[in-house]
Amino acid sequence: MKPPIQFIGAGGAHDVHLGNSAALLQWNGKNILIDCGFTVYPSLVRHQLVEDIDAICITHLHDDHIGSLSALLYHRHFISKLPPVPVIAGIPELYSKLYTYLHFLMGEVERFAQVLLPKGYASYIEAISTTRLHSPHMPSCAYLFTSSEMNLIYSGDIGEPLPMLRDSEWLEAHPSLYVFHDVAFHPTPSHCYYQSLHSFLGKVKLWGYHCDPREAPSDNQIPLVHNELMLERYERGAR
């Protein structure tokens, strides 16, 4: 069974041909957009999905994760005439900085978005702080989505495996777990080196994203979202 998620883009910050990493998750009857980098809004327009989004989760504030958020919010308000959409910032420091960012760009934020912590939106979304595990100055988080049928984690950008993956009791309490994890094919402190994730493949349903499949070494065992879970299939010849 495939998880109820489609990636709008799955590349790193400069893999423009692959699009910024972002996904549409269908969960509990809602369409949840995860991140909205600078390539995401044009793709949503092209696929006529702007009006289908019920909530937006933001993992952190780098431009490849929020670069077209304001354009999406303006479109929904001025063109689609929709009420403010919930924008979820998982942890308090991220909430504060995201609100300040949107206020600087848009003025009265509440005209366009309801900026919320997860508990202000739904009990089935939890945030996992990853602050300092991607960038020292940047508050960041992963998101856990829970249901009676499955559980799903979206890591956001992170420089090491998510800590709970090493916790056997936590894993036992979250069965049928899909993990969508940031992957790097070269050692870097900001993104998770692929070899450090191999040991978790038999424990969870693990998929990699935020990478270029053409750079994958021959010993990579992690299935990549580019092959099966893209909104637009990755064109292998794209440059």
In a domain, residue 232? The reply is no
Question: Which pLDDT value is given to residue 215?
Answer: 96
What residue numbers bound the domain in which 123 lies? Answer: 5-227
| Number of separate domains in the chain | 1
Residue 238 belongs to a domain? no
Query: So what's the pLDDT on residue 236?
Result: 35
- The Cβ-side half-sphere exposure at 166, using a 13 Å CA radius, reads 6
- Give me the CATH number covering residue 81: 3.60.15.10
Q: What is the pLDDT of residue 2?
A: 82
pLDDT score recorded for residue 71: 98
CB 157 within 8 A of CB 63: no
Quick check: 126 and 146 in contact, CB under 8 A? yes
Instruction: Please report whether residue 236 resides in a domain.
Output: no
Contact (CB, 8 A) for 40 and 68? yes
- Closest listed residue to residue 69, CA positions, set 109, 125, 120: 109
Residues of the chain with pLDDT under 70: 233-239
Residue 56 lies in a domain: yes
Tell me whether residue 207 is exposed, middle or buried, using C-beta atoms within 10 angstroms of its C-beta: 0 to 12, 13 to 18, 19 or more: buried
- Express each pLDDT in 90-147 by its tens digit: 999 999 999 999 999 999 999 999 999 999 999 999 999 999 999 999 999 999 999 9
With respect to residue 234, please indicate whether it lies within any of the assigned structural domains: no
Q: What local confidence, expressed as pLDDT, does residue 234 receive?
A: 41
Residue 176 lies in a domain: yes
